[in-house]
Each structure stands twice: as C-alpha cells, then as structure tokens.
C-alpha cells in the first residue's frame, strides 16, 4: 500500500528478458541499501514491484524486480528502457503520514497526456483516460498518475485535468512530460467500490 507521495526518482539501468514472459528490471535509486530487503515493495511509476535483489554499484544503490506479462501489457513498464526515469515510493508503514490518498500500486490502465499548459511555476495537464476507466474519475476526486497522488480539477467525457504545483514538478518526472506521453493510471479505490455497489443494486 502506498500514498502517492514520491520519495525518489530512480533510473532504469538494465532490462533483461527472462523465462515465462518475465522482464527483470534493475533500477538505480538514492535509497539506503541497508533499508531495502528482498521481498520489499517499491512503487515504480505507480507499479508495485517486489525487490528480488539489491546492491551498491559505483556508490549508487540499485534494486532488481521482475515485471510479469500482465504488468508489461497493462502498464508502461513494457516501454521502459535504459535511462527511463521513474517515480519511486516505498511501501506505507504503520504510523507513516498519509499525505496523498490510498494507492494500491495496481495500475488500472494507461492514460495519455493530450495537452500541457505551463503557468507561472505550475502546469495544467489534460489527460485522456481509457473509456472503461473514465467513469471512476470525478472533479475533486483523486487519481494516481505514474504513482503521483493528484486531485482532479475537471473531468469531461474521457478527459480530465490536473494542476501540478511547483514542488511536484521538481520532485517527480512530471516536469518532463509532453503531449503524447503515456502515464500509468490508478483510479481511486473508493470510487471503484462505490461504482460496484451501485451496479449490484
């Protein structure tokens, strides 16, 4: 479980194909190597991945994780290459501050950035969501995009808009997003359950 508050920007330093359609990813980060144990969960651009090994090379911590075929198909992980920058977040611990919203790290689909308006120190981003997910997105509701907890400003049809504040632009990969880029979308868990309850009436 995560909160959508990014704590580091990692970088993919190796991608290797493995048996059973797995992809082994090695990701460099700034976390303390001693704090990363095998089996730990780390959200990478919103995708919850399990650490299978970790180490230090050239003074920089790295960890490896496997992405299964479903993950590669449903998320942007299948497009990650050497040099891809990723928003990272460690798993929520009891007692941690819940600064964003409850994020499972289970990506629902891929959204595309269709417009970007750069304002004074901020940016207004407009995304296109998959039609089957847009019904879970509402004004003032929460979404996780590439692992970042954001509040929806406007939502119409399959499009929605978010405003990115200066701090978020600085500490995430959002500063480099351009129209046409794809991001991992996780809809609000509460919205999903509410829709399910309505469907069963």
Active-site amino acid positions? 2, 41, 48, 50, 68, 106, 151
List the beta strands (DSSP E) in the chain: 8-17, 23-29, 41-44, 47-57, 60-67, 85-90, 109-118, 123-128, 142-145, 148-156, 159-164, 182-187
Contact, 27 vs 57, CB < 8 A? Answer: no
Could you identify the residue written with the tokens 């891929």? 110
The CA R_g of the chain, rounded to the nearest whole Å, is 17
| Helix, strand and coil percent figures for the chain, each rounded to 5 | 20, 45, 35
């Amino acid at each position: 479980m995560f909160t959508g508050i990014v704590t580091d920007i990692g970088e993919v330093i190796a991608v290797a194909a493995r048996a059973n359609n797995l992809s082994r990813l090695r990701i460099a980060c700034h976390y303390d190597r001693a704090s990363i144990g095998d089996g730990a969960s780390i959200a990478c651009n919103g995708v919850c991945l399990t650490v299978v090994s970790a180490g230090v090379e050239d003074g920089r911590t790295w960890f490896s994780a496997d992405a299964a075929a479903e993950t590669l198909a449903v998320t942007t992980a299948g497009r990650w290459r050497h040099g891809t920058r990723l928003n990272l977040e460690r798993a929520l611990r009891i007692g941690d501050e819940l600064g964003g919203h409850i994020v499972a790290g289970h990506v629902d689909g891929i959204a595309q950035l269709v417009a970007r308006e750069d304002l004074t120190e901020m940016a207004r981003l407009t995304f296109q969501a998959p039609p089957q997910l847009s019904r879970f997105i509402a004004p003032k509701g929460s979404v996780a995009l590439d692992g970042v907890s954001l509040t929806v400003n406007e939502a119409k049809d399959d499009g929605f808009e978010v405003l990115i504040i200066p701090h978020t632009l600085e500490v995430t990969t959002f500063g480099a997003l351009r129209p046409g880029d794809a991001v991992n979308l996780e809809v609000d868990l509460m919205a999903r359950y509410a829709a399910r309850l309505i469907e069963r009436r």
